[in-house]
Amino acid sequence: MTIKWSYSGIKLFEQCPRKYFHLRVLKDIVEPETEAMLYGTRFHESAENYIKSDVPLIPAFAFAKPVLDNLKQINGEKLCEYEMGITEDLQPCAFDAENVWFRGIADLLILDREKGEARVIDYKTGKSAKYADPDQLELMALCVFKHFPEIKKVKGGLLFVVCNAFIKGSYDATNQDMLWSKWVKSHSRIKIAYDNDVWNPKPSGLCKKHCSVTSCSHNGRA
């Protein structure tokens, strides 16, 4: 059995295996879409249309025009919301391929094939970059190396458009085997949970106010 995963899936499992079990395995709980999530979705759509087709940003996101204009001016082929899949033997495949193992979507991918360089940008609409996690950039860079073997260097960035912050990352194709081994190890923990059907809760300060798994004894809101 191939256990498909993504950056968000790995992070959810690390946060709490029990929550992962309900949201990703049983799928008996669907987390409600918050206003913040809807805001982020609308921004991603508007930014994609602006970068790809020059469709004006909707008025609520006009503040982001200068930084998006800077991205538009960077040399290279621009791919928006670009979907990439990876098989279990670390080969590139389609996002919806039957044998897909890992899935990732780059909000903006800029390819400079002549230089063998690429940029991966992930838009963030949170009000703070305090807990920014560049691991997402690393995974996207690893996918780029597989899908575009002519690319040898990737510069990544988490672009926090609301709080005006930019978290950078830089990745070299020569390190990809070492970096993949780290993620394979993380994925193996999920596989062990599947194999043994053990999904222990991982209590934290988020349980009572934020977790949607109300049946868990640590939730306290049942």
Confidence (pLDDT) at 10: 96
- Contact by Cβ (8 Å): 86, 93: yes
- pLDDT cut 70: percent of the chain above it: 99
Q: What is the CATH number of domain 31-173?
A: 3.90.320.10
Pairing type for strands 153-160 and 117-124 reads: parallel
Residue at token pair 């029990």: 18
Confidence (pLDDT) at 41: 97
List the strands of the sheet with 77-87, edge to edge: 92-93, 77-87, 100-112, 117-124, 153-160, 165-172
- Contact by Cβ (8 Å): 160, 132: yes
| 222 residues of the chain, pLDDT tens digit each | 889 999 999 999 999 999 999 999 999 998 888 999 999 999 999 999 999 999 999 999 999 999 999 999 999 999 999 999 999 999 999 999 999 999 999 999 999 999 999 999 999 999 999 999 999 999 999 999 999 999 999 999 999 999 999 999 999 999 999 999 999 999 999 999 999 999 999 998 878 777 889 888 888 655
| β strands within the chain, DSSP E | 77-87, 92-93, 100-112, 117-124, 153-160, 165-172
Q: Is the dihedral of CA 138, 9, 184, 101 positive or negative?
A: negative
Domain boundaries, the chain: 31-173
Question: Tell me: the pLDDT tens digits for 98-112?
Answer: 999 999 999 999 999
Pairing type for strands 153-160 and 92-93 reads: unpaired
Q: How remote is the C-alpha of 14 from its chain's centroid? A: 15
